[in-house]
Structure 1
Amino acid sequence: MLRNSLIVFIAIFLAELPDKTMFATLMLSTRMRRPLAVWIGVSIGYCTHVAVAVFFGSALSKLPERPIHAVVGLVFLGSGIFMFRSSAEHHESDSVEPTPRTFLKVVYLSATTILVAEFADLTQLATVGFAVRTGDSLGVAIGAASALCTVSAIAVVAGSWLQRNVKLQLVQRMASIFFIIFGILALFNSIF
């Protein structure tokens, strides 16, 4: 079990590090200014996906990819446009703080963002493959969940640093551009 957990951890960690959901986590941590709540929410979203992948993996692999890519693309595109417009509204006064949100609302928003963005993602499908190949559901779940929570912790720390050291409007605009690009790419994948 430990061997499988370690192999899965390394593979999932490396696959998720440059992924769109890592950037989503980074954006959430800069926008919400509640790093612990963001990390808990993102981790809940990831662990939910790991559970689904491990226990219902064969059903996930049979879902059509194109509609999933279209939904993910629309969510990212809409989020990117909303963030860009929101950053333009705050341009008049750079001292304006983001809308205060309760701890639980940030956890919920972070979890649902990851749940939508990560559905049928490469790392979820890889987790399905590891679970099927090894037959070690617990080891695969531990390795995948640990890797995903570690990547999200890195993104939250980076986002918190950016939020403290870079103008909020610049971070929001950069994040919105990434979201728009990811949305367009996901929509492109759903069509072609």
Structure 2
Amino acid sequence: MIVLSVVATAFVLVLPVELPDKTLFASLVLATRFPPLPVFVGVGTAFGLQVAIAVTAGSLLSLLPQALVSGVVAVLFLVGAVLLWRSAAEGPEDGGEAADTRERTSFLRAAAVSFGVLFAAEWGDLSQLATAGLAARLDSPVSVFIGAWAALLTVSALAVFLGKALADRLPVALIRRAAAVLFVVFAVVAAVETVRVLT
């Protein structure tokens, strides 16, 4: 049974957590490389699976060692930053070329890459932990799922739209390098969190 108040609670809790989060930037960068629709489908599917895992795990997810989770997240972001920086040097330099690249990319490949990037990046994320906590506290897992997934899809839609607009106006290399710097910042924050937990 769907409880609208629980759906609203999950939506309102997850949306502001994700707006300034890595998800927004990762989706934006993906939308500069691939057509918007397959990016949205891939990202949305990844979020659906992540939310389902978080809801199913409930409070068990929050029992994982925090140092392990933050350490893995730090490594993932460092790897992501390196890949983004390198792709900036290799990729198209303006929005017109980016559009040509997007047209030659298959829907399935773009969706699969988008799924993989977001599925890996969301492990241990605040929204996943918040969703697990809500599912543990509230006796309506389907409602929590709907609210959290709707919030994540909203953020993804905004990012994909902004990504397409930016790709048409700004050099793709600039967007990718800026995202790489943000990924480094997230990696440093996760590393600091790991050290803080271990000491």
Name the TM-score, length of structure 1 as normaliser: 0.90
2:125 is aligned with 1:121: yes
| 1:12 and 1:147 in contact (8 A); partners too | yes
The 1-side partners of 2:90 and 2:56 are apart by 45
The 1-side partners of 2:59 and 2:136 are apart by 8
The 2-side partners of 1:90 and 1:43 are apart by 25
Q: Matches of residues 28-177 of structure 1 in structure 2 within 5 Å?
A: 28-30=30-32, 32-90=33-91, 97=98, 98=101, 100-177=104-181
The 2-side partners of 1:90 and 1:149 are apart by 27
* Number of residues of Structure 1 aligned to a counterpart in Structure 2: 190
Task: Give the superposed CA RMSD.
Answer: 1.9
The 2-side partners of 1:2 and 1:25 are apart by 28
The runs of 4+ residues in structure 1 deviating greater than 4 Å are 93-100
How far is the alpha carbon of 1:161 from its aligned partner?
A: 0.5
Amino acid at match of 2:157: A
Please list the CA deviations of residues 88-141 of structure 1 after superposition, one character each: whole Å capped at 9, or x if unmatched.
2458x6576558532112211111211211112111111111112221111111
Amino acid at match of 1:185: V
| 1:77 and 1:181 in contact (8 A); partners too | no
1:139 to 1:23, Cα distance in 2 relative to 1, 3 A = same
The 2-side partners of 1:90 and 1:13 are apart by 32
Name the TM-score, length of structure 2 as normaliser: 0.87
- Bigger mean CA deviation after superposition, 2-11 or 76-85: 76-85
1:161 to 1:96, Cα distance in 2 relative to 1, 3 A = closer
Amino acid at match of 1:150: T
Runs of at least 5 residues in structure 2 that lack an aligned partner in the other structure? none
The 1-side partners of 2:105 and 2:72 are apart by 26
Runs of at least 5 residues in structure 1 that lack an aligned partner in the other structure? none
Amino acid at match of 2:155: V
Q: Partner of 1:20 in structure 2?
A: 22
